[in-house]
Amino acid sequence: MTPHVRVSRGRRFELVEMVEMVEMDGGYLFYDGTDLRLLAGQAAQVYARVDDVATADGIADSLAAEFPDQAPQVRADVLSFLQSLADSGLVGVLTPLPEAGYARAGGVGSVRDGDLTLLVNLDDGQRRALSPSGLRIWELACERGYASVIVAALQQEYPDAPPSLAAEVQVLLDDLVDQGFLLRGGHEPAGTAPSAL
Amino acid sequence: MHRLIVPSNVAAQDDPVHDALGYRFTVRAHHPDVRSHLMVLFAGLSAVGHAEVDPLELDATDARLSDRLVALMRRINIAAVGAAAGSLLLHAGAVARPDGGSAILCGQSGSGKTTLSVRLAESGLYYLTDEAVSLSPVTLRLRPFRKPAVVKAGAQQLLCHLRPQLDAAADGTWLVPPNAFDTTPTPDRPLLPRLLVFPTFTPGAGCAVEPLSEADAAYLLGKESSRLGEVQGGALPALARLARRAPAYRLVHGDADLAVRAVRSLLAAA
């Protein structure tokens, strides 16, 4: 977790209706009855991504992906700016969504084939090849992990992981659920999920 | 007597009535030369009718006449802003083409608003005001406020040909009546904004024009607004409406002639 962000990584933000806002070519203008404020340029891009659903990390990751050479700095700047938006009352902070846990589906086996691992659903014959990183995600998910816990573990194991890690993990988990290799189960509030390791 | 007094709400029949953004007033002076001077100063603020008139009186005192007139003008400005509450009020000068298309010159004190407004009027545009622009927040129609131009010491070298007969006020200010620099006929069409200019005077600079986004323009307009919280229909819709209606430019200049040429060119194209 980025130290200077008080909120959890899963924290979501909502637009605040008490502040009058108009979207214009070039940015957003706010008026609270006393102060007039303008968000333009990259600040406007951050604000535009606040939608009650996207998390702080998700917003930071999506913008950092647009500047791969400066991704860590962009990510840190975005998280800091989101905090300042919350501090100034232009966005509200929502409690994190409940997070679904994952479990291995019944009847699923695996076979190692060189660098790849082949998942096989013995019930319907569905197969899925996993790379070494995909295998690690699978292993963490099977230990009844939660997406946030999986991502945290991977970031510890791979400090150079790309900014888009959380999004890529979620894509793979969703695919494995859709293909029947994983089950998405009971919910725990984000931030309280047990460690999978 | 050594005061500027405001007696009961009755105007004498022969006192001309003036209108400053809806604030209607007369000014009485006992000395005929002062009365003549007042008539010239406020000729651009003529009004019809006598309803709800505030009779002001300019008594002879030990203070310089120019100082008393500056104090009077300050009082009228404050009352005018109060009368125009509900409108979109900008700290700006403005001039208009014959078809009513208007340029609004918006900026802080010292940005060159008065100099530009006066020089543009001298070049053939219709003088609307040099300090306070009032617009309907819905239709965006401008209301003229053809007050005397307040020429501060820093602008007097450029406008030396407009030096009034009266000595400058203690703060160096000249009050210059509109008919001294504007002989353009009144536009016969509604006055509507067609150009927004945010001037900055920088000695030694040439003239640089930079287009602004609508959001930047709305923000800068808002920062130079009075009584934003009282705008009918809300401040942001009015500011957004104005910023979307007229193209906006930042104008950094150190040469009034170049600046006038730039504004005229932008207004002609708007």
- Given a contact cutoff of 8 angstroms between Cβ atoms, the answer to whether B144 and B136 are in contact is no
Candidates A31, A39, A42, A90: best to mutate against B (most CBs of B within 10 A) is A31
How do residues A120-150 score in pLDDT, each as one tens digit?
988 888 899 999 999 999 998 988 678 888 8
Q: In sequence order, what are the residues at sequence separation of 6 or more whose Cβ sits closer than 8 angstroms to the Cβ of residue B33?
A: none
Contact A25 B214 (CB under 8 A): yes
Q: How confident is the model at residue B78, as a pLDDT?
A: 94
Q: Spell out which residues of chain A touch residue B234, defining contact as CB-CB under 8 Å.
A: 20
- Given a contact cutoff of 8 angstroms between Cβ atoms, the answer to whether B5 and B30 are in contact is no
Pairwise CA distance, residues A21 & A156, whole Å:
41
Q: In sequence order, what are the residues at sequence separation of 6 or more whose Cβ sits closer than 8 angstroms to the Cβ of residue A90?
A: A16, A19, A30, A37, A39, A47
- Given a contact cutoff of 8 angstroms between Cβ atoms, the answer to whether A99 and A147 are in contact is yes
Please give chain B's pLDDT, 270 residues, in tens. Answer: 333 444 444 444 577 889 999 999 999 888 888 888 888 899 999 886 666 888 888 866 777 888 889 889 999 999 999 999 999 999 999 999 999 999 999 998 888 899 999 999 999 999 999 999 999 999 999 999 999 999 998 888 889 999 988 878 888 889 999 999 998 999 989 999 999 999 999 998 889 999 999 999 999 999 999 999 999 999 999 999 999 999 999 999 999 999 999 999 999 999
User: b vs e for A70-99, b when ≥16 Cβ sit within 10 Å of the residue's Cβ?
Assistant: ebeebbbbbbebbbebbeeebbbbeebeeb
Q: In sequence order, what are the residues at sequence separation of 6 or more whose Cβ sits closer than 8 angstroms to the Cβ of residue B27?
A: B15, B18, B38, B42, B56, B57, B58, B72
Q: In sequence order, what are the residues at sequence separation of 6 or more whose Cβ sits closer than 8 angstroms to the Cβ of residue A186?
A: A100, A101
Residues in chain B: 270
Q: pTM of this prediction? A: 0.73
How do residues A32-72 score in pLDDT, each as one tens digit?
888 899 999 989 999 888 876 677 888 888 888 888 898 88
Q: Spell out which residues of chain B touch residue A44, defining contact as CB-CB under 8 Å.
A: 215
How do residues A138-190 score in pLDDT, each as one tens digit?
998 988 678 888 888 888 888 888 878 887 888 898 889 888 898 886 555 45
ipTM > 0.90, yes or no: no
Contact B239 A29 (CB under 8 A): yes
Please name the amino acid found at residue B150. Answer: V
- Given a contact cutoff of 8 angstroms between Cβ atoms, the answer to whether B234 and A29 are in contact is no
Q: In sequence order, what are the residues at sequence separation of 6 or more whose Cβ sits closer than 8 angstroms to the Cβ of residue B270?
A: B101, B103, B194, B195, B246, B247
Contact B240 A22 (CB under 8 A): yes
